[in-house]
């Protein structure tokens, strides 16, 4: 299947470019089909190219030495990932895995320089995209570094626990994140951590508090 | 089961592509749930939805031994 010009037109990197320019860029773009659950990139490995999601969804994440996963972003159609090592020459800063079948468009690292020199507008677009990326990551760093999120998530659970009769309000992870003043991805990780500590267990759509006292201690532990 | 707001759904189908239990389909450009028995509440559909049309709320209960 040929790389679609209409799709390239919608990518923020190529915003403002004419059809003739997009045609010349298309020659550098390759397609890659990836199955569900496949690793597209591994953190720490040498970067080969920059990717755009044409269809499907990719998650970008880092893994701790203990194997804990922290999602950095969810990449949807039209968005790019692995930009950083292409521009700074370093290794992949994070891993990327498909969340379903995915079609990717890629540009090899060696071709980026030629594209930018031929179409300087792209450099301005790249700066804008990366600035937005930095803003999002700064907010995530603030959440993870300076605030004891797990304590605030514990508080949300204690304050919203019901008696199992079904009358209590149900909360999505997004709603819990808003109440705890954090990001949805951090709530997901906090719930897993609380489960590992034995304070809660997760059973499909139910969060079951197994040890209220332990949860209260986690809530009250200062940062 | 996940809750769908048909007015917010734009039929992009991202949730269908990430659902590993084949529980979601697009009908008349709106997401529809067809299977809930296998749903393990992974909440990936909610995570990827760009419009907030699909929600996976949790019930929080206390069950101490």
The structural domains of chain A, with segments of one domain joined by +, span: 5-140, 147-220
The pLDDT of residue A223: 60
Q: Is this structure's pTM higher than 0.80?
A: no
Asked if residues B34 and B23 have their Cβ atoms less than 8 Å apart, the reply is yes
The ipTM (two decimal places) reads 0.82
Position B27 in a domain: yes
Position B64 in a domain: no
Domain range for B36: 3-55
Residues in chain B: 65
Q: Can you list the alpha helix ranges (DSSP code H) found in A78-172? A: 83-88, 109-118, 120-146, 149-160
Q: How far are the Cα atoms of A51, A59, A123, B46 from residue A128, in angstroms, in the given order?
A: 17, 21, 9, 27
Position B12 in a domain: yes
| Cβ <8 Å between A210 and B64 | yes
Using CA coordinates, name the residue in chain A closest to B56. Answer: A172
The pLDDT of residue A144: 66
Nearest by CB to residue B58, choosing from A74, A101, A205, is A205
B5 to chain A nearest CA, in Å?
Answer: 14
Nearest by CB to residue B61, choosing from A175, A204, A209, is A209
Asked if residues A206 and B61 have their Cβ atoms less than 8 Å apart, the reply is yes
The pLDDT of residue A221: 79
Per-residue pLDDT of B18-42, as tens digits, reads 998 888 888 887 888 777 778 889 9
Among B1, B23, B53, B59, the strongest candidate for a mutation testing the A interface, having the largest count of A CBs within 10 A, is B59
B59 to chain A nearest CA, in Å?
Answer: 5
The pLDDT of residue A167: 62
Position B20 in a domain: yes
CATH number assigned to the domain comprising residue B24: 3.30.70.20
Structure tokens at A177: 């994140």
Q: By CB neighbour count within 10 A (0-12 exposed, 13-18 middle, 19+ buried), where does A162 fall?
A: middle
The pLDDT of residue A1: 54
* Class of domain A147-220 as given by CATH: mainly alpha
| Cβ <8 Å between A56 and B62 | no
A114 to chain B nearest CA, in Å?
Answer: 33
Establish, for the pair of chains A and B, how many residue pairs have beta carbons separated by less than 8 Å.
101
Indicate the CATH number for domain A5-140.
2.60.120.10
The pLDDT of residue A146: 56
The strand ranges marked E within chain A are 29-34, 39-41, 49-55, 58-63, 69-75, 80-81, 95-98, 102-108, 200-203, 206-209
Position B21 in a domain: yes
A30 to chain B nearest CA, in Å?
Answer: 22
Position B47 in a domain: yes
* The total number of structural domains that make up chain B: 1
Per-residue pLDDT of chain A (223 residues; tens, 9 = 90+): 567 888 888 888 998 899 899 999 999 999 999 998 899 999 999 999 999 999 999 999 888 777 777 778 888 888 999 999 999 989 999 999 998 899 999 999 999 999 999 999 999 999 999 999 899 888 777 766 655 889 989 988 998 888 766 666 688 998 888 788 788 888 998 999 999 999 999 999 999 999 999 999 998 876 6
Using CA coordinates, name the residue in chain B closest to A183. Answer: B47
| Cβ <8 Å between B20 and A36 | yes
pLDDT beyond 70 at B50: yes
């Amino acid at each position: 299947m040929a790389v679609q010009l209409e799709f390239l037109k919608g990518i923020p990197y190529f915003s403002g470019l004419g059809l003739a320019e997009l045609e010349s860029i298309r020659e550098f773009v390759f397609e890659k089909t990836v199955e569900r659950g496949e690793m597209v990139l591994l953190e720490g490995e040498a970067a080969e190219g920059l990717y755009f999601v044409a269809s499907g969804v990719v998650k970008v994440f880092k893994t701790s030495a203990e194997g804990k996963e922290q999602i950095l972003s969810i990449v949807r159609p039209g968005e790019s990932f692995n930009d950083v090592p292409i521009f700074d020459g370093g290794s992949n800063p994070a891993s990327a895995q498909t969340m379903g079948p995915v079609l990717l468009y890629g540009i090899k690292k060696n071709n980026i320089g030629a594209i930018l020199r031929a179409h300087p507008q792209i450099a301005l677009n790249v700066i804008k995209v990366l600035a937005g990326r930095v803003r999002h990551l700064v907010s995530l760093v603030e959440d993870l570094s300076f605030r004891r999120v797990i304590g605030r998530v514990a508080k949300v659970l204690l304050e919203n626990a019901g008696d199992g009769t079904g009358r209590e309000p149900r909360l999505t992870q997004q709603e819990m994140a808003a109440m705890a003043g954090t990001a949805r991805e951090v709530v997901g990780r906090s719930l897993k951590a609380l489960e590992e500590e034995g304070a809660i267990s997760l059973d499909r759509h139910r969060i079951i508090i197994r040890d209220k006292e332990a949860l209260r201690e986690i809530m009250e532990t200062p940062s | 089961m996940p809750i769908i707001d048909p007015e917010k759904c734009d039929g992009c189908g991202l949730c269908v592509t990430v659902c590993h239990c084949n529980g979601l389909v697009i009908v008349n450009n709106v997401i529809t749930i067809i299977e809930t028995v296998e749903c393990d509440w992974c909440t990936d559909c909610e995570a990827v939805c760009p419009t907030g049309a699909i929600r996976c709320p949790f019930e929080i209960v206390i069950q101490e031994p």
